[in-house]
Amino acid sequence: MSQSLLSQLKSMTKVVADTGDLEAIRRFRPEDATTNPSLILQAAQQEDRRARLAAIARESADIDEAVDRVAVDIGCEISELVPGYVSTEVSSRLSFDRDATIIKAHSLIERYAKQGVPAERILIKTASTWEGIQAARQLERDGIRTNLTLLFGFAQAQACADAGATLISPFVGRILDWHKARDPEGDFAGDKDPGVASVKRIYEYYKGHGYATIVMGASFRNVDEITSLAGCDRLTISPTLLNELDERQGELPRQLSPAGAQDADPEPLSQADFRWAMNEDEMTSDKLAEGIRKFMADQKALEALLAKLRQQ
């Protein structure tokens, strides 16, 4: 009897739910779950949450506190449904402020602790800016685990490994989007997909140098991108694509395998080297800036919703 692609994928890769939808998490039973401002906004707009959100908004000292409480509230619910990590993102406003990111991360972890969720269950997400990566370096020293997101380029991956991040989320689909916009007639199937190629390069670099940082591919546009990365440490997948994987049958061969460390440790990237590499990489610079703006737009929408509920 043939198995679904999803069941085969779970045998070689830890599957993570890229959603705040509790019903989807219950159905697909992922190892971990990851949220971001866009997903928190979607979850907050569900009618069955309105009374709870209104109470949080009215009880909070200000909208900033209300946003944090909503994120932790949803994260706590998710933590009861998955055995592994729950990722919660620091505000995109802090993407270029190392110290403020560290303070916010500690605050979020304290909120989780008060709800009975220990620090080892939470990954604090920060954008893969230089400041976000350096905040992660300190947070890891403080015993707070981190997930570096909005990662599009190799220099970001190098710096995250240098910082000792617990996990990185290299994006796939958004890289493909960028290339398709510039070459609409291009052939990006299979291994020609630049997002897939980027994650494979990062994975091989990490395993070749023995980095402990987990590689979790993210931002998928189709099932083929996911199956092309079968064997990656983790893949975070939307409910729509999880459903498609669950319904499709067929052979799913492993594409990535962890080889033992083979190469000498590279020199850490300096801030100047990192910024120069980012400057030279148009796609990464474009998508990082765009991603921060989009997450911030969704956070502002959540803030507006909570402000409205606060007045009711």
- Residue pLDDT, tens place only, 23-76: 999 999 999 998 888 888 888 888 888 888 889 999 999 999 999 999 999 999
Please tell me the predicted confidence (pLDDT) of residue 1: 57
When pLDDT is averaged across residues 275-294 and rounded to a whole number, the result is 98
- pLDDT, averaged across the chain: 94
- The pLDDT value recorded for residue 238 is 95
Per the structure, the complete domain to which residue 31 belongs is given by: 5-310
Q: Domain of 277: which CATH number? A: 3.20.20.70
Q: How far apart are the first and last CA of the chain?
A: 56
| Residues marked as catalytic | 125
Among 213, 209, 205, which Cα is nearest to 163's?
213
Average pLDDT over residues 250-254: 95
pLDDT in tens, 141-178: 999 999 999 999 999 999 999 999 999 999 999 999 99
| Chain segment 175-217, per-residue pLDDT in tens | 999 999 999 999 998 889 999 999 999 999 999 999 999 999 9
Q: What is the percentage of the chain residues whose pLDDT exceeds 70?
A: 99
pLDDT at 191: 83
Domain count, the chain: 1
